[in-house]
Amino acid sequence: MTTTTYETQIEADADVPLIRITREFDAPRSKVFRAHVDPELVKQWLGPRGYEMRVLHFECRTGGSYRYEHLDGDSTYGFYGSFHEVRPDEMIVQTFTYDGMPDGVALERLVLTDLGDGRTRLVVTSLCDSFADRDAMIASGMEDGIRQSYERLDELLA
């Protein structure tokens, strides 16, 4: 089976301290949504290639919360947050903190649009407290991790 790889657009907003990620997938919206909600599926694509993902808890529902770790050899990177709102197949709004920057909190919104013909557009916005925090997030090398994650998601969806 051939997997089409779309480009992942990652933009820093000019007016507000926000990062906007846009990506298309050759899969129906409900399938892309499920891959974000079911921790057994999330573990298979979220994070850079070669990292193992350990889910401590992951309740993707309005009012739920999550904690997971990415393991890279002897290094462990922990992340946690809460799910503000989950609208099936459409939208997930959640908070996000990296353990290494415990005072930095991002407000993330995932929106999925049905493009027809079994294709889906994903837009994730990540709103930070300040331009300094937003720019530090970009400088951390997150872009490679995101591109690799979505390539892994293509493979899972295929």
Contact residues for a copy of itself, defined by CB under 8 A: 15-18, 62-65, 80-85, 93, 95, 97, 105, 107, 109, 125, 127, 129-131
Q: Report d(CA 138, CA 124) in Å as an integer.
A: 14
At 147, phi and psi to the nearest 5?
-60, -45
Q: Report d(CA 22, CA 122) in Å as an integer.
A: 6
Nearer Cβ to a copy of itself (126/149): 126
Q: How far is the CB of 5 from a copy of itself (least distance, A)?
A: 30
Nearer Cβ to a copy of itself (99/144): 99
**Do the Cβ atoms of 21 and 146 come closer than 8 Å?**
yes
Within 13 Å and on the Cβ side, how many CA atoms surround 98?
Answer: 11
Nearer Cβ to a copy of itself (84/147): 84
Q: How far is the CB of 95 from a copy of itself (least distance, A)?
A: 4
